[in-house]
């Protein structure tokens, strides 16, 4: 699959990876504990909440915030640390 935009996140079936984890994690936990409907409700609610928090344009806003506020812990491969302000 060729992404339409450069910043388009990876997809797993119909959802982005983080949406799938938020939805399937409680669902699987509910199946294992015997509370399938409660797990499904929490998973769908978490999915809708995450989708709402992402908004329309910035799908990777949480990833960018981690890069900016924790430069020594979280790094991108092709960018310098966010704490470096001058490159002269």
pLDDT of residue 82: 65
pLDDT of residue 88: 63
27 in a structural domain: yes
2 in a structural domain: no
- Count of domains observed in the chain: 1
pTM strictly above 0.85: no
9 in a structural domain: no
Q: Which domain holds residue 35?
A: 15-69
HSE at residue 11, side-chain half, CA atoms within 13 A, is 9
pLDDT of residue 42: 94
Element (H, E) at 12: strand 11-12
Residues of the chain with pLDDT under 70: 1-4, 6-7, 56-60, 62, 74-78, 80-85, 87-88
């Amino acid at each position: 699959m060729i992404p339409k935009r450069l910043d388009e996140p990876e997809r797993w079936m119909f959802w982005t990876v983080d949406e799938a984890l938020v939805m399937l994690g409680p669902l699987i936990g509910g199946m294992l504990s015997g509370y399938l409907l409660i797990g499904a409700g929490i998973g769908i609610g978490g999915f809708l909440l995450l989708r709402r928090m992402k908004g329309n344009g910035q799908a990777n806003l949480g990833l960018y915030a981690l890069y900016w506020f924790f430069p020594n812990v979280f790094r991108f491969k092709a960018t310098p640390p966010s704490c470096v302000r001058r490159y002269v």
